């Protein structure tokens, strides 16, 4: 048999599951869509909750088992404040929450033993705090660690859960440096499917300063992760990358009330992308899917700050009246493009998607939505 298979997915594909708090339940829906189409990754990588779900997949949990576990999870199962540590150690306390609840969840979902014992290649993204370096457990030379230790460290958001020392390295959540470790997973594969649940359109965070230091920290971390993710995609030089972005931006990172909706959002996003992939993943590189779009500016809103022209000089420019204007013509964008649209302080930039029949529809993907 020659030529691309019916799914359009090459035989050697890496699946990368990004971090994003409980928004990562969308990954379970993505796995369901892949399973229905007979797509089995040869490499699976993850950060934070993405690492946890990747580990559960490698352990052999079924989609139904993952769904049941996710739907049964409640806040006390994961978040228990370390009252004693905070009273005794005060500012020297390592975290806000206790280690044991997270560790129990990780132990119940992770394969036993080390990465060397696994039949499927699993990569778990962490950061070595002391050395200031990214450590992806499961890569050559980093396979002798316990899988459960690496997964716990990948889920240990700094300040929220204690770090984990692994082979002398003090490791925390890999999202500190790279939320979706696509490049690390791209070695020796034909294509990458990356699922991004932490860098999609942001909901406006109202009254964030009134919600305490944890909310302020999480909002800052989310912005940092989004910026790093956009930079990685803008400079992507690996094999063809299929980007799946479930519509989960309206959900809180630590909401336990919308688990089914988030799983369904992951399933819907994956089905749309996989069923329309064609033979694009047999290209030499690039980020897919790609769409025809047209960019316009609401001149009444535009203040002339010029940030769009600085960030995207090939697309935006300033006219003689000091207002932003889009360079004429349609553009071909992947979902990794257009990040500058969200940077407009008055949301004066609009994006219309042009479908195959020439019909146009306004997309809210690049807008900052109210919560």
- pLDDT given at position 18: 95
Asked if pLDDT for residue 262 goes beyond 90, the answer is yes
pLDDT above 70: percentage of residues in the chain: 89
What average pLDDT does this structure show over 314-341? Answer: 89
Q: What is the largest CA-CA distance in the chain?
A: 67
Among 82, 128, 149, 173, the one annotated catalytic:
173
- 173 carries an active-site annotation: yes
The predicted model scores a pTM of 0.88
Q: Facing residues of 296 across strands?
A: 350
At 101, list the tokens: 């609840």
pLDDT (tens digit per residue) in 274-303? 999 988 899 888 999 988 999 999 999 999
Task: Indicate whether 90 pLDDT > 80.
Answer: no
Question: In sequence order, what are the beta bridge partners of 244?
Answer: 195
pLDDT band, very low/low/confident/very high, at 219 (cuts 50, 70, 90): confident
**φ/ψ (deg, to 5) at 265:** -65, -40
Residue 196 has pLDDT above 90, yes or no: yes
209-235 mean pLDDT: 72
Q: 10 Å Cβ neighbour count for 32?
A: 20
pLDDT in tens, 92-142: 777 778 899 999 999 999 999 999 999 999 999 999 999 999 999 999 999
Pairing label, strands 121-128, 169-173: antiparallel
Question: In sequence order, what are the beta bridge partners of 122?
Answer: 44
- Residue 201 near residue 251, CB atoms below 8 Å: no
Q: Is the model's pLDDT at 183 over the cut of 50?
A: yes
Q: How confident is the model at residue 199 (pLDDT cuts 50, 70, 90)?
A: low
DSSP string, 250-282: TS-TT-SS-HHHHHHHHHHHHHHHHHT-TTGGG
- pLDDT tens-digit map of 309-321: 999 999 999 999 9
pLDDT at position 264 is 98
65 is written with which tokens?
A: 């088992």
Tokens 């990685």 belong to 232
Quickly state the pLDDT bin for 369 (edges 50, 70, 90).
very low
User: With 60 as the cut, is the pLDDT of residue 65 above it?
Assistant: yes
In the 8-state DSSP scheme, what is residue 319? -
Please tell me the number of Cα atoms within 13 Å of 171 on its side-chain side. Answer: 26
Q: Is the pLDDT of residue 153 over 80?
A: yes
CA distance 106 to 190: 30
Identify the DSSP state of 97: B
User: What's the pLDDT score for residue 43?
Assistant: 98
pLDDT at residue 71 above 50? yes
Residue 60: strand, helix, or coil: coil
pLDDT higher at 342 or 265: 265
- Of these residues, 48, 110, 121, 154, which one is catalytic? 48
pLDDT of res. 355: 78
Q: Given this model, what pLDDT does residue 5 score?
A: 44
Average of per-residue pLDDT values in the chain:
88
284 an active-site residue?
no
Burial environment of residue 156 by CB neighbours within 10 A (0 to 12, 13 to 18, 19 or more) = buried
103 CB contacts (<8 Å, ≥6 apart)? 148, 152
Cβ partners under 8 Å of residue 229, min gap 6:
18, 179, 180, 196, 198, 199
């Amino acid at each position: 048999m020659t030529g691309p298979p019916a799914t359009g997915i090459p035989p050697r594909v890496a699946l990368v599951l990004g971090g994003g708090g409980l928004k990562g339940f969308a990954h379970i829906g993505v796995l369901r869509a892949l399973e229905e189409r007979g797509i089995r990754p040869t490499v699976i990588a993850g950060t934070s909750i993405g690492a946890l779900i990747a580990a559960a997949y490698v352990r052999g949990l079924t989609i139904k088992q993952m769904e049941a576990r996710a739907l049964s999870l409640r806040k006390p199962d994961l978040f228990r404040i370390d009252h004693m540590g905070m009273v005794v150690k005060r500012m020297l306390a390592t975290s806000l929450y206790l280690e044991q609840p997270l560790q129990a969840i990780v132990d119940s979902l992770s394969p036993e033993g080390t990465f060397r014992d696994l039949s499927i290649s699993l990569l778990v993204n962490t950061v070595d705090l002391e050395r200031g370096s990214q450590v992806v457990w499961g890569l050559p030379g980093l396979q002798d660690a316990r899988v459960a230790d690496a997964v716990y460290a990948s889920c240990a958001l700094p300040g929220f859960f204690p770090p984990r020392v692994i082979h002398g390295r003090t490791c925390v959540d890999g999202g500190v440096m790279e939320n979706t470790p696509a490049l690390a997973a791209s070695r020796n594969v034909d294509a990458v499917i990356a699922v991004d649940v932490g860098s999609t359109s942001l909901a406006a965070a109202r009254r964030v300063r009134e919600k305490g230091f944890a909310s302020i920290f999480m909002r800052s971390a989310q912005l940092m992760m989004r910026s790093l993710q956009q930079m990685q995609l803008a400079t992507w030089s690996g094999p063809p990358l299929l980007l799946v972005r479930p519509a989960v931006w309206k959900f809180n990172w630590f909401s336990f009330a919308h688990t089914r909706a988030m799983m369904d959002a992951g399933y819907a996003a994956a089905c749309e992308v996989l069923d329309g992939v064609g033979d694009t993943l047999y290209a030499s590189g690039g980020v897919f899917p790609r769409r025809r779009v047209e960019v316009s500016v609401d001149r009444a809103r535009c203040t002339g700050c010029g940030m769009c022209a600085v960030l995207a000089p090939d697309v935006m420019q300033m006219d003689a009246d000091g207002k932003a204007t889009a360079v004429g013509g349609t553009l071909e964008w992947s979902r990794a493009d257009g990040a500058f649209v969200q940077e407009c302080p008055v949301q004066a930039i609009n994006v219309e998607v042009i479908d195959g029949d020439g019909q146009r529809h306004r997309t809210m993907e690049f807008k900052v939505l109210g919560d």
